[in-house]
Amino acid sequence: MLDKVETMQARMKHPVLVLPEAMKALLALGKAATADGLPAVTCYLVHLRASQINGCSFCVDMHAQELKNAGEDDKRIHTVAAWREAPGLPMRNGSPLPSRRN
């Protein structure tokens, strides 16, 4: 049993605090992707996976909540971390992104 409870510390500062201009670029990229016809849910899935890879717990929580608010079920949200093996995620040619229409 644990006698002492330790408070976890953040591994890094929030990226927006380190590179504030990067957030503007990320928002612009997201806006351009959805304006070009990429479904919002697909964007949210990609954002969630990128946040998992980056290890940003704030962003993982935010993007999971976006998916939940968009009507995605918990099972689908939880399987993003193993998307290659996850049935029910949008896949084309081994990618979570749909093929681009010309």
pLDDT tens-digit profile of 61-94? 999 999 999 999 898 898 888 877 777 666 555 5
Instruction: Return the domain boundaries, the chain.
Output: 37-102
pTM, to two decimals: 0.66
Nearest Cα to Cα of residue 46 among 95, 86, 1: 95
Place of tokens 């990320």: 26
Q: What CATH fold (topology level) applies to the domain 37-102?
A: AhpD-like (1.20.1290)
CA 14 – CA 11 distance, rounded (Å): 9
CA 41 – CA 7 distance, rounded (Å): 34
